[in-house]
Amino acid sequence: MALLFSLILAICTGPGLLDAQPSSHRFGGPLSRVRLVGGDHRCEGRVEVQRANEWGTVCDDGWDESDAAVVCRELGCGAVKKAISGTAFGPLTQEDQKIFVQEFRCNGLEESLSQCEREDFFDCSHKEDAGAVCGFPENVRLVDGPQRCQGRVEVKHQGQWGTVCKASWSFAATKVVCRQLGCGRALLTRKCCNKATQGQGPIWLRKASCSGKESSLEECPAGAWERSNCTHDDDMWVECEDPFELRLVGGDGRCAGRLQVLHKSQWGTVCDDGWGEAADRVVCRQLGCGPSLSPPAKSRRRFGPGTGRIWLDDVACSGKERSLEECPHRFWGRHNCNHAEDVAVVCAEQ
């Protein structure tokens, strides 16, 4: 009887369809990033994941707070408040945006979505997009800058956005803002602005004593925000590095090869001065690959030397960073290396 049932099923479904069922763990390539889109701040919205250089959505099959909690943790957005399904955070980033993942199966303890089991997309519509609301609302932003990680500092207090007076600001606070906004390291802070980029409305003053290691301004020991007697000539301007875009080239897949970073629309290599296993782990995590395999130097040399710019040197990671831009390093393009010292990384395939 079982044999007869299998034969009938094969005839009815036709050749190949049984083999087309979704596979676990893969959906055409590893995850590299996740973001929340369409909400009131960066810590709520529709879940989008990046594959190669393309962003796609996630179907809400099985989507629950365990899955959403991983998104909140990966984005540094605190505890999950709610797992959302449907069109609450429309419209789509692109009209023809793809759905990449049918279902995530997280236990809620993972550090990133790339560590959760998942199934390929096979049957879903954008009316079923997964979303999340995290408990870390946006209370600081950079505005009127040329890029999202540069601009005039504004904080939200009593439901109202206002600028910050230089009398209450420090470079340590700048480091915290860059980290809180998911940008790279702090580059500079200075008094703002020309007339075109001056703020309007209230100017907030608060004596804060940030160490520079806090995750958000709210963690800095400080008094209450209050209106100041400053003028908008005293508004603060902050510049952070943009998040790094990475790739591994010269290997057989996306998870092994010579490391390249993108800067000023140009790919360049990384010098191995100060590089170690901790930095390997950060790269593998950021690219959504499996654990670092940390092969010996001889094995890494098979990827060959790079050409063109050497962008980074003296990168010093602890291994706990979510992405490479959080690791201390020299300024872009400053190094004492040649391409024989290019970093190569080998991760397990996810």
| Residue whose tokens read 């909140």 | 72
Q: Is the pLDDT of residue 131 over 60?
A: yes
Q: Over range 87-97, report the average pLDDT.
A: 77
Q: Is the pLDDT of residue 57 over 50?
A: yes
pLDDT at 5: 38
pLDDT in tens, 152-203: 999 887 778 888 888 778 899 999 898 888 788 888 998 887 777 777 888 8
Number of domains in the chain: 3
- What whole-number distance in Å separates Cα of residue 131 and Cα of residue 63? 9
HSE-CB of 110 using CA atoms within 13 angstroms: 21
Same domain, 96 and 75: yes
Same domain, 100 and 189: no
List, in order, residues 6 or more apart from 2 with CB less than 8 Å away. Answer: none
Last residue of a domain, one of 222, 240, 258: 240
211 vs 227, residue with greater confidence = 211
Same domain, 44 and 118: yes
Same domain, 279 and 320: yes
Q: Which amino acid is at 15?
A: P
pLDDT in tens, 136-151: 667 888 998 888 889 9
**Is 318 part of a structural domain of the chain?**
yes
pLDDT at 27: 43
- 350 falls in which pLDDT band (50, 70, 90)? low
pLDDT at 54: 86
Q: Over range 289-315, report the average pLDDT.
A: 89
Same domain, 65 and 120: yes
- What whole-number distance in Å separates Cα of residue 227 and Cα of residue 203? 6
329 vs 91, residue with greater confidence = 329
131, 40 in Cβ contact below 8 A? no
- 287 falls in which pLDDT band (50, 70, 90)? confident
Same domain, 254 and 337: yes
- 26 falls in which pLDDT band (50, 70, 90)? very low
Same domain, 101 and 148: no
Same domain, 191 and 226: yes
The length of the chain, given as a count of residues: 350
Above pLDDT 70, what percent of the chain? Answer: 88
- What whole-number distance in Å separates Cα of residue 169 and Cα of residue 173? 6
pLDDT in tens, 214-253: 877 877 877 667 777 788 888 889 999 887 889 999 988 8
- What whole-number distance in Å separates Cα of residue 228 and Cα of residue 119? 54
Would you list the DSSP string of 53-110?
TEEEEEB-TT--HHHHHHHHHHTT--SEEEEEESSTT-S-SSTTPPEEEEEEE--S--
Same domain, 292 and 328: yes
**Is 174 part of a structural domain of the chain?**
yes
Last residue of a domain, one of 89, 107, 134: 134
Domain that holds residue 334: 245-348
pLDDT at 49: 92
Q: Is the pLDDT of residue 18 over 50?
A: no
**Is 20 part of a structural domain of the chain?**
no
The beta strand positions in the chain, using DSSP E, are 33-38, 44-51, 54-58, 80-85, 99-105, 117-120, 130-134, 140-143, 150-157, 160-164, 186-191, 203-205, 226-227, 236-240, 246-250, 256-263, 266-270, 310-312, 344-346
Same domain, 59 and 128: yes
Helices (H), the chain: 2-13, 65-74, 171-180, 277-286, 297-300
82 vs 323, residue with greater confidence = 82
Q: Over range 255-272, report the average pLDDT.
A: 92
**Is 26 part of a structural domain of the chain?**
no
Same domain, 89 and 171: no
CATH code (residue 123): 3.10.250.10
**Is 1 part of a structural domain of the chain?**
no
CA Rg value for the chain: 23
Q: Is the pLDDT of residue 7 over 50?
A: no
Q: Evaluate the omega torsion of the peptide bond into residue 134 and state whether it is cis, within 30 degrees of 0.
A: no
**Is 5 part of a structural domain of the chain?**
no
What φ, ψ does residue 5 adopt, rounded to 5°?
-60, -40
Identify the bridge partners of residue 151 per DSSP, sorted by sequence position: 238
pLDDT at 15: 33
pLDDT at 106: 93
Above pLDDT 90, what percent of the chain? Answer: 32
Distance between alpha carbon 93 and the CA centroid of its chain, in Å? 17
**Is 124 part of a structural domain of the chain?**
yes
Same domain, 224 and 307: no
Q: Over range 88-109, report the average pLDDT.
A: 85
Last residue of a domain, one of 240, 268, 289: 240
**Is 13 part of a structural domain of the chain?**
no
Helix (H, G, I), strand (E, B) or coil at 13: helix
- 28 falls in which pLDDT band (50, 70, 90)? low
Identify the bridge partners of residue 154 per DSSP, sorted by sequence position: 141, 163
